[in-house]
Chain A
Amino acid sequence: MTTEVLGVSLQYSHSIGRGEFAGPGFRNPVALARGAEGLMYVLNRAYEYRPDGKRVTICTVDEEYIGEFARGVNTAGITDIVTEDGSLIWPTSVALDKEGNVYVADEWLNRISIFSKDGEWIGKWGTEGSGDGEISKPSGMVFDADDNLIMVDSQNNRIQKFTKDGKFISVFGSQGSGDGEFNLPWGIDLDKEGNIYVADWRNDRIQKFTKDGKFLVAFGTSGSEPGELNRPTGVAVDRTGMIYVADWGNERMQMYDPAGKFVTLTTGDGTMSKWGKDKLDGNAEMWELREIAQGLEREKDFWGPVAVTVDDEDRVFVVESCRNRIQVYRRQEPMFQGGGRL
């Protein structure tokens, strides 16, 4: 269901994914980074009982499977959890630097793991703590125009900027609910001017800052009415400054204008993905079960829309942690009858 309030709207494109612990598909995906030439890096958190599902899946927007890398740590023993380089326990986010290297944050290990664009482990950094440059439960990450990494340091309720090899540059924010304060923030993105947008998760709002961390504006209040938020997890800003928010607790994605005014929302339009069709073709009885299933329209709905990303082509990607799926939308400008753009 897509509600159009102003001229700009969202056009559903297609769905990507299916539930898998390995290979083509995802398992509790929590983040997505867009690479060059249609590449996507999808971070799968999976769960403790099945650490094999924790990984980064490389695929394309057209649902071509490329490969996967990084593996979950087996925490099935009560003690002696072994964390080898490149392994994951509670991965939260993924970001790409200008060279296309892949940075993965782990909020249990307080570790940033670095991989080449093909998934080869090339480094790590991160020290637990609350001092400058120390981190506690890193969540969202994004690279700025200078190729520095801006990170949501969630448990410390602040935003830190690092060089890509982990040298501390700057910090802003503290615990609270006032302007510039945070309560367990999660997702982050930048607009083309470098302004910083943070999903201030437990304050049910989005905050916008200058690139230097000066507070500009906050929008969103607790609730489930259009424009209101319930534990927003992800935020993304497109080339025109439109803002997309993964409204996790309300199971929807909302769109706001550059001033933070509500524009439209969607609760999902999911359809059969290419990988999904392949799976059903291999389990033909499932096609038959779908024929008689009741309430199949529920398959459209978001479940656990945890992250949102936009690319340079105005495509919007919504990651659903519980449906193991990514729904792709496209921002649509209003058209005049003559065919001109607004």
Chain B
Amino acid sequence: MASADIELMAHLMRRAGFGATYEELEQFAANGYDATVDELLSPMEQPDLEVDLLERYFIDWKEMNALEVNQAYLTYRMINTKRPLQEKMTLFWHGIFCVGNSKCEHGAQIQTQLNMFREKGMGSFPELLLALSVDPAMVFYLDNCMSHKDAINENFGRELLELFAMGVGMDGEANYSEEDVKECARAFTGWTIANAIPRYPYGRFPSMFAFNAADHDYGEKTFQGETGNFNGDDIIEIIVKQPSAARFIARHLYNFFVADEPQIPAWQGTPPRDIDAIKEMEDAYFESGYNLTAMLRVMFKSDWFKAARFEKVKSPAETVAGTMRLVQDFTSPKPGLHPIAMEIRYMGQDLMNPPTVEGWHTGQEWIDSGTLVERINFTADQMGNTDLPGVQAIIARLSSENISDPATLVGRCLDMLGCYSLPDETRAYLVEHIGKSGDLNPGTEVYGAQVAQTLQLIVATQEYQFA
């Protein structure tokens, strides 16, 4: 059996990253929990991927011409990043600040936005909101380029309040009024993008944010009870001071990292699952001057985070990237990445192309009869492939531990995949099944197949769908 330290580390790495091999978990556990959290919170101290090498072999990654190319790149990053929390936070913001390829001038622009999340997604919330407001993909997606001083388009102004920074309401009260939406939209008039160069004949060019002073409404506005000649950045300053902004981020972080909760449309009337946890993060938000890493630190070091084992259904991205990390495939450039990336789409998460501006419905809504079959087929295919280095490493390890009875084999395979546990009945079924496969003779080819089959059975369980 794995030690309690390793079990806790498996939990941390699944949530703050995309999982880890057992050998990595042992190393992290040896370093200690708090030191590992601190390392995760300091991604820039870890090396980035070798982008020059990636662009040499995946030569299309310099251009990012198609959605599928972007998705392959993002998948590769999730599998290989040495900065797992940075990548996880990128995914976190991507699920909140949604833009979609289906309404996008230029697919590479979404990658530019994700790079912005990598850079600013763990820093200051007002800086992040400001960067979002001048992000060309967002300006286009929510029509702020169509919002004029004489004819406002409320889309961006409304979503900034409803979906990006405050939420409709909290503790039974509304967080803003319809008047606030209009005033917010007025403040962001003139925040637009330059006219694009057409895609023919030489392809797309990066979009450019532009402030059109002639189309900005410089008049007086009243927003959240304050009055002035507000511009967009003034509005952001007012937003981030509100208790609703702290509540907004805290509930999103809790839902993404700690335990599945009802999603944002329900927040006005549905109290948080753990109000004390939320308040701890809210306090960190204000005490740190709206800093996101401060909130993450409180969360990851809390007892309520450590106790929340398997309280979340894995997203498709977590399922695919986590499985690929375990089997250690695509650790360097090679053909065949596109179909791996497509699995995330087939499981219901078309990255960089969310269904609506509300993003994906998470938690149990990830699972239906179709997506569950996709999950099981994909993960079982990977785990059953004894050519893959990660599977070979597990086989070699269990051989070296000389494990020859079915019950211990099942237990150690659960450990190897990240210290999963199964209900007694399921576990007994697996033990019985492996027992029927013949004697377990470590080091033999048949033993390798028996280990791989055990891994396949585990990833096909309900429990493996949880993180």
Contacts and interface: CB of A to CB of B under 8 A. Distances in A.
Pairing of A with B:
yes
A46 interface: yes
A276 interface: yes
Contacts, number: 123
A17 B202 CA distance: 8
B62 interface: yes
A46 B195 contact: no
Interface string A12-30: 0000011100000100101
Contacts of B201: 17-19, 25, 272-273, 275-277, 279-280, 324
Contact of A49 (B66, B340, B381): B66
Which of B52, B72, B194 has the largest number of chain A CB atoms within 10 A? B52
A47 B69 CA distance: 8
Which of A47, A201, A231 has the largest number of chain B CB atoms within 10 A? A47
Nearest to A19: B203
A93 interface: no
Contact of A77 (B63, B210, B334, B339): B339
Interface residues of A, number: 54
Interface string A282-305: 010010011011111011000110
B58 interface: yes
A289 B196 contact: yes
Given A76-B338, A78-B336, A28 B59 contact: yes
B208 A295 contact: yes
A293 B203 contact: no
Contacts of B197: 289-290, 293, 295-296, 298-299
A289 B205 CA distance: 13
Contact of B59 (A19, A30, A298, A323): A30
Given A273-B201, A276-B201, A295-B197, A108 B68 contact: no
Contacts of B53: 184
A49 B68 contact: yes
Interface in A73-102: 75-78, 81, 89-90
B339 A270 contact: no
A295 B52 contact: no
B225 interface: no
A295 B335 contact: no
Contacts of B340: 78
Contact of B202 (A75, A249, A276): A276
A286 B60 contact: no
A322 B62 contact: yes
B52 A202 contact: yes
Q: What's the dominant secondary structure at chain A's contact region?
A: loop
B336 A90 contact: no
Q: What's the dominant secondary structure at chain B's contact region?
A: loop
A276 B62 contact: no
A55 to B, nearest CB: 15
A325 interface: yes
Given A76-B338, A323-B203, A47 B59 contact: yes
A108 B335 contact: yes
B203 A322 contact: yes
B52 to A, nearest CB: 5
A46 B65 CA distance: 10
B196 A293 contact: yes
Given A19-B203, A298-B205, A75 B63 contact: no
Interface in B209-251: 210
Contacts of B69: 47, 49
B439 to A, nearest CB: 30
A161 interface: no
A92 B195 CA distance: 36
A321 interface: yes
Interface string A33-49: 00000000000011111
A117 interface: no
A244 to B, nearest CB: 20
Contacts of A330: none
B200 A47 contact: no
A50 interface: yes
B57 interface: yes
8 contacts: A28-B60, A48-B60, A49-B66, A75-B335, A231-B52, A279-B201, A280-B198, A295-B208
By Cβ-Cβ distance, the 8 closest A-B pairs, closest first, are A276-B201, A18-B201, A47-B60, A294-B194, A322-B63, A289-B198, A49-B68, A286-B198
Interface of B: 52-53, 56-60, 62-63, 65-66, 68-69, 72, 194-203, 205, 208, 210, 334-340, 381
Given A276-B201, A303-B63, A323-B202, 20 more contacts: A17-B201, A17-B202, A19-B203, A48-B336, A48-B337, A50-B66, A75-B335, A75-B338, A107-B57, A108-B334, A275-B201, A277-B201, A290-B197, A294-B195, A303-B62, A304-B62, A304-B63, A321-B62, A324-B202, A325-B202
